[in-house]
Structure 1
């Protein structure tokens, strides 16, 4: 099986690639992974192929699955107007390149798995949110929705789409946890604001496992018959499941990639301090977070309770369903 990954060298893409290759060796299956890159000299594992975007534009290769993860980190810096443009462009440009390849290639992929985030739902406090929930409009929602709507255009070419809305990914190698390790180890870690905001998280091991589960489930049920391209219209999630209602008969689904047990920031802080054997007396008040981070402070202050209803109903079994497990059972 040939798989093309944008963002393959990143925090999620690299772990996803490693697990795919490990499973292929155990199962004695032939899996070829290609990372899309803007830098042909980028370091990479020996068993990973590399392809530049320029090469993709000329390539006649075929891929059974395309995984679209490219995108700058939304929490990496303050949301200036320039940064907002960078965040959008870093998602839109790779997706457009993939769509151009899909439109041109003779043998279409059987699935496009495209990244998104639980920011799609906007700020909704402690309201339980599943794939059929609506949204509140803010910058995070618009960023995610623009990315999702573009990826869904793959259906115009008969390619099914799975959108994965990712929560806070937990692993010490990167993401939010990677950024917090240093201050917490120094004993200056603490809760954010009143600590009551809900954090919807997922261990990196389960993110990888869930993504592979979605792909394998789709390929097992895949049929190329009865899929006809048509003009893409704006989509809404069905009220009963995670199937996106579109004007197109090519299937599209959405999954929340979050653990089934979200925690408050207070619980997160205390668990992290216990794991590191460090005190967590400090508190960063809300006004200071807003002063430091501006509009981006909403990611730290305003909670989201996003649940993986579709993933659980599909039969995925979490390896690390609790936050304590995510901290103590790292690979």
Structure 2
């Protein structure tokens, strides 16, 4: 297949592009820095420069393309959420997605599928409720951001393109995302949960996320929202307990929620609130998670033990999801 990827040099996109290329697919990356992309992925991929804002010659990459994976967007957690930063985060994602869909509309031949990134923040801050793809939109900045992002991707359906809106949870791997930032306190024996501790963490191992994207590309029955999380959401206290166990360290020093909010401002809600999200579409359609539970995922990342292979969904989880 010929697959175009935006955001292909990021934490998720680079690993996805590398795996797609290794499987023999022709992968074209739309990137703001072709030299940086080349240094990262070499001749595995083809590269087209774009700015995520303006039409240009990069649109020729959509000729004879079967799938587009849109992961472009500035990191949510790199800076405090000032009003200007929030506007940038929304515009950055919305404009890039709008640009992709507009470019597809100008082509005589269009891809079969558009996989477009979003986040579980769509559901807003939540309590113990199980949230599947049928759950309503929540409130707050992340919900606003996710809704605007998804709305632009949804426009591609009018072009006859199958659209999958990928609602991604906390992605775990050693070389990026939130996990490396969490390791240092545990290495220093001062690790522990962020208060209140009962907030839910919906996570996914990066290997399963990449597998889920590939599965969604080829599974023609999948469209609409797709929760990209593992079946086993855990509370923050449980997450830190299992992280400490995997590292051979205690999880005892609770971080006050007010201190997080004081340090990070509104962005602190990423850590002090959460959502109990379940991947109902993936489970009911038979996607084989390699790491369905957090302990096996952390063991693979930190100790190097791989999962036992494709999992059979837990019967109780499937019943709850249904």
Q: Would you call these one fold, judging by a TM-score over 0.5?
A: yes
1:149 aligned partner: 151
Task: Spell out the pairing of 1:180-219 with structure 2 (5 A cutoff).
Answer: 180-218=182-220
Task: Spell out the pairing of 1:164-183 with structure 2 (5 A cutoff).
Answer: 164-183=166-185
Instruction: Indicate if the aligned counterparts of 1:172 and 1:181 stay in contact, CA closer than 8 A.
Output: no
The CA distance in 2 between the partners of 1:60 and 1:262, in whole Å, is 37
Tell me the SS of whatever aligns to 1:283: coil
Correspondence 1:37 to 2:34:
no
Correspondence 1:87 to 2:81:
no
Which of these residues, 52, 65, 71, is aligned with residue 49 of structure 2? Answer: 52
Tell me the SS of whatever aligns to 1:255: strand
Q: Using the TM superposition, give the Cα deviation of residue 73 of structure 1 relative to its aligned residue in structure 2, in angstroms.
A: 1.7
Distance change >3 Å, CA 59–CA 313, structure 1 → 2: closer
The CA distance in 2 between the partners of 1:10 and 1:195, in whole Å, is 30
Task: Spell out the pairing of 1:1-331 with structure 2 (5 A cutoff).
Answer: 1-22=1-22, 24=23, 30-42=24-36, 43=39, 44-53=41-50, 54-57=56-59, 61-218=63-220, 252-330=223-301
Q: Using the TM superposition, give the Cα deviation of residue 187 of structure 1 relative to its aligned residue in structure 2, in angstroms.
A: 2.3
Tell me the SS of whatever aligns to 2:47: strand
Tell me the SS of whatever aligns to 2:12: helix
Tell me the SS of whatever aligns to 1:4: strand
- After TM superposition, the runs of 4+ consecutive aligned structure 1 residues lying more than 3 A away are 57-60
Q: Using the TM superposition, give the Cα deviation of residue 48 of structure 1 relative to its aligned residue in structure 2, in angstroms.
A: 0.8
What do the CA deviations read for 1:245-267 (whole angstroms, capped 9, x no partner)?
xxxxxxx4111011111111111
TM score, norm. by length of structure 2: 0.87
TM score, norm. by length of structure 1: 0.85
The CA distance in 1 between the partners of 2:46 and 2:271, in whole Å, is 37
The CA distance in 1 between the partners of 2:59 and 2:20, in whole Å, is 26
Tell me the SS of whatever aligns to 2:193: strand
Mean alpha-carbon deviation: is it higher for 107-116 or for 82-91?
Answer: 82-91
> Structure 1, unaligned stretches of length 5 or more?
25-29, 222-242, 244-251
Q: Using the TM superposition, give the Cα deviation of residue 58 of structure 1 relative to its aligned residue in structure 2, in angstroms.
A: 5.3
2:313 aligned partner: none
What do the CA deviations read for 1:6-36 (whole angstroms, capped 9, x no partner)?
00111111111222233x2xxxxx4100111
Instruction: Indicate if the aligned counterparts of 1:12 and 1:204 stay in contact, CA closer than 8 A.
Output: yes
Q: Using the TM superposition, give the Cα deviation of residue 105 of structure 1 relative to its aligned residue in structure 2, in angstroms.
A: 1.2
The CA distance in 2 between the partners of 1:200 and 1:8, in whole Å, is 23
What do the CA deviations read for 1:125-181 (whole angstroms, capped 9, x no partner)?
111100001122211100000000011111122111011101111111111102212
The CA distance in 2 between the partners of 1:145 and 1:8, in whole Å, is 22
Q: Using the TM superposition, give the Cα deviation of residue 112 of structure 1 relative to its aligned residue in structure 2, in angstroms.
A: 0.4
- The count of aligned residue pairs is 294
Q: Using the TM superposition, give the Cα deviation of residue 293 of structure 1 relative to its aligned residue in structure 2, in angstroms.
A: 1.4
Instruction: Indicate if the aligned counterparts of 1:63 and 1:109 stay in contact, CA closer than 8 A.
Output: yes
1:230 aligned partner: none
Instruction: Indicate if the aligned counterparts of 2:18 and 2:44 stay in contact, CA closer than 8 A.
Output: no
The Cα RMSD (Å) is: 1.6
> Structure 2, unaligned stretches of length 5 or more?
51-55, 307-322
